[in-house]
Amino acid sequence: MSYSLIRPLLFALDAERAHGLTLGLIDTLHSFGFLRAFNHQTEPSPVTVMGIEFPNPVGLAAGLDKNGEHIDALAELGFGFLEIGTVTPRPQPGNPKPRLFRLPEAEGIINRMGFNNGGVDALIENVQRAQYKGVLGINIGKNADTPIDKATDDYLIGLEKVYEYASYVTVNISSPNTKNLRQLQQADELAHLLDALKAKQLALANRDGRYVPLALKIAPDLDAHQVEDIAERLINSGIDAVIATNTTLARTGVEHLKHGKEAGGLSGAPVRSKSTHVIRDLTEALHGKVPIIGAGGILAGEHAVEKIRAGASLVQLYSGLIYRGPQLVADSIEAIAALHD
């Protein structure tokens, strides 16, 4: 079945409503065994990153399944790994609606969701119910009403709660939709946060007899000096990976479009070059000491290859799925595999 037949119907609806209906449809197709019609089989292409063996290097980015309610269905689409969240210690509704906007002419999306989620305990219950045994990342954030000087407390709560259930844990300090959150990317605050998280990680590893890697997700709106500072903190703290990047606050090339001036983070095609540029800067600054997961603007297999060539070891998809559908997963896997042939 072709996604191109369904897309016009979904795009006729409000973006957030369409998102919910799509996930519901995926669950229904999964429950009746029909979802495999959208899964374009690819040859295995395993890769080891962070000490984890991934069946293939193409994953689902956080944000699509915030509460981990659709894990088994999404796993059937051929991803090498899934990342769920962002989840916060306590449930929160996020920002007022409307808060999700398509920019079809630019193949972009603006969101100001604001970490809407059911809280970490609800996410854990969903993970426990899932049958999925593959690589599962859990993305953690801070509650909107937690003061920024207490943000570390929220991340430590999230890490401790999800540790047992995650293959790796992502620390999201780069969403533009939680007030002052990106302040945590600044040198001294970042060092404090990473040191606290690393200490907690090692304590949990000792407690459980299992080491769960930590990844840091950063913004695309960083200059070369800021990237160098972050790279130095990543190396010094022993963080296991970095995800580059989140959404951008820039509006270059979309200002004139309907919804182009909406507040929030811009993703999809307009962020691709910014994301890849940050990956290149990170590659130069990290000297191979910390692996990079590339995300941002992948709408074709060649875009996934672009991230790998820039220095990423894995890639993640989200907005590209909205515009291209599940075929993008196989296209990206095959393009990366061809690069290594």
**Residue 319 marked as a ligand binder:** yes
CB 281 within 8 A of CB 256: no
**Residue 115 marked as a ligand binder:** yes
Q: What's 61's DSSP letter? A: P
Q: Strand 265-268 relative to strand 168-172: parallel, antiparallel, unpaired?
A: unpaired
Catalytic residue among 175, 237, 267, 332: 175
CA separation for the pair 316, 320 (Å, rounded): 10
pLDDT at position 130, please? Answer: 98
**Residue 134 marked as a ligand binder:** no
Is 332 a known active-site residue?
A: no
Q: What's 248's DSSP letter? A: B
pLDDT at position 36, please? Answer: 79
Dihedral (CA of 50, 213, 208, 125) sign: negative
pLDDT, one tens digit for every residue, the chain (341 residues): 688 899 999 999 999 999 999 999 999 999 999 887 777 778 889 999 999 999 999 999 999 999 999 999 999 999 999 999 999 999 999 999 999 999 999 999 999 999 999 999 999 999 999 999 999 999 999 999 999 999 999 999 999 999 999 999 999 999 999 999 999 999 899 999 999 999 999 999 999 999 999 999 999 999 999 999 999 999 999 999 999 999 999 999 999 999 999 999 999 999 999 999 999 999 999 999 999 999 999 999 999 999 999 999 999 999 999 999 999 999 999 999 999 87
**Residue 167 marked as a ligand binder:** no
CA nearest neighbour of 79 among 105, 103, 45, 123: 45
CA separation for the pair 63, 52 (Å, rounded): 22
CA separation for the pair 106, 251 (Å, rounded): 11
pLDDT at position 1, please? Answer: 63
pLDDT at position 340, please? Answer: 80
**Residue 117 marked as a ligand binder:** no
The DSSP bridge partners found for residue 295 are: 316
**Residue 249 marked as a ligand binder:** no
pLDDT at position 148, please? Answer: 96
Give the Å distances, CA to CA, from 139 to 61, 63, 64, 86, 105: 9, 9, 11, 5, 30
pLDDT at position 208, please? Answer: 97
CB 315 within 8 A of CB 329: no
CA separation for the pair 66, 62 (Å, rounded): 7
Count of CB atoms within 10 A of residue 174's CB? 24
For residue 36 the two structure tokens come to 């495999």
The angle formed by the CA atoms of residues 266, 269 and 273, to the nearest 5 degrees, is: 95
pTM for this model (two decimals): 0.98
